[in-house]
Amino acid sequence: MSLVELGATALLAELEAGRVSSVEAVRAYLERIDRYDGEIGAFLRVDRDGALAKAEEVDRRRRAGQAVGRLGGLPVAVKDILCARGELTTCGSRMLANFRPPYDATVVSRLQAADAVLIGRTNLDEFAMGGSTENSAFQKTRNPWDLERIPGGSSGGAAACVAADMAPLSIGTDTGGSIRQPAALCGITGLKPTYGRVSRFGLVAFASSLDQVGPLARDAQDTALLLEVIAGHDPRDSTSVDRPVPPYHQLVRQPLKGLSIGLVREHYAAGLEPEVEAAVREAARVFQSLGATVKEVSMPHSKYGVAAYYIIAPSEASSNLARYDGVHYGYRTDEQAMLAELAAEQALYQSAGTSAAEPDSPLVRLYRRTRSEGFGPEVKRRIMLGTYALSAGYYDAYYLKALKVRRLIRQDFDQAFAQVDMVAGPVTTAPAFKLGEKVNDPLAMYLVDLYTVSANLSGIAGLAFPCGFSRGLPIGLQLQGPPFAEERLLAACYMYQQVTDWHLRRPSLS
């Protein structure tokens, strides 16, 4: 078995035993990236020199008997939406194509403190807005199981690189399903932690009340390992919860006694592919065979989740992305061309009198051209949706009503968790669709988030992992639990993965 096939926990054991060096492991992954990423497009940038230098440092300390961090020499890929001091952080957008932050995100700092080898930055939908990783300003990412299909989004690069064995661990973000959905479509494990469990400091904001950083890995044990490193209170993030971090990597192996799981009645309706429903119900039977109690629960307001989400998230995006104006930082339009255009319009206005529209002021023109050129179509669409929902006369009708629906959805979860420990269901209605299939149909694209947005609206934890295949493509199962129930979700997943092999299957790359 090659080093890239080991997985994070097994590889870490080899490193700690001295049977493998970090340099050897990093080189193996770099060779894998060189060989396959040209066709997959998971990485925007690979830090070859920095990764090898860090690996050599970890190896020297280990040989000298010095203390090594929790991830001691393991390669980790990071979604290109988390700030890293002095390194390009683009968010997949032309707006930030040359942006180098002056500080590290807390998650990046914690990875560095744990002696992770940050091997590269992964592709994403622009500003994390999308479900297919087709909205990046720089490249499309392909699904390793079928290069004609999408890997999911917005953390498509983060999921694809793990699925293709180009990194054992990766960091993604989840605003409406952007960790769980690509994890499901790529056949790996991905966790959206409880809101406040992982610091958002240094995460470039999309929708601040929904965004959360989380791990992607092959299985529950590797996911727990990474979560243990990045979780914890951060005084620099006002939404961070001051709560001890459990030893997830140890707790994941503890069997759950008396586990009760709810199947949400409303999840099994028109639009769900029969193969996906069959795989999810079979997974429920596996849990029953392991001693769990499975019962049906109802979440009547879940059907309004997508509608509420696509008011709240764009509204927050409209506010957060107002800072990209061509003045403070980031992309700025060509001022000479802009001034020439403005002068021509002013001349026309003066010669035509009141029959021509009065030109913008130079500052307004600068804002308008910068934002028009710097943002892609999907980001513009969401900014306009959010601005409209927040505008005078529409705030109560849209945004305020969406917040009320959000509260009802959370109440549905609270009532369900009063009956069961966690709820189970599909992650998506179908396996990965083809590239370009939905890119011109925003409504169809938004409905991809049908089963995932409710966890973000409610702030609870959600975990996705493979439970079957359809037409050679992975099918994902989602477990959702109460706030700060990550250890129980991971333990349930670990139990399932001990008696099934879906998570062990790897795509065949030529």
Nearest Cα residue to 233 out of 202, 201, 210: 201
| CA distance readout (Å), 462 to 78, 194, 344, 348 | 20, 8, 55, 58
- Residue from 154, 170, 240, 458 carrying the catalytic annotation: 154
Residue 413 near residue 343, CB atoms below 8 Å: no
Residue 340 neighbours by CB distance under 10 Å: 11
DSSP string, 161-185: HHHTTS-SEEEEE-SSSTTHHHHHH
319 annotated active-site: no
Dist. CA 375–CA 318, nearest whole Å: 12
| Omega cis (within 30) before 155 | no
**Is residue 79 among the annotated active site residues?**
yes
Angle at 432 between CA 178 and CA 149, to 5 degrees: 105
Of 109, 132, 178, 318, catalytic: 178
Find the catalytic residue in 21, 22, 54, 79.
Answer: 79
- Residue 457: closest CA among 299, 320, 319: 299
CA dihedral sign of residues 70, 75, 80, 85:
positive
CA distance 174 to 86: 25
Alpha-carbon separation of residue 376 from 79, 127, 138, 384 (angstroms): 19, 10, 11, 12
**Would you call 208 a catalytic residue per the annotation?**
no
Residues with a known catalytic role:
79, 154, 178
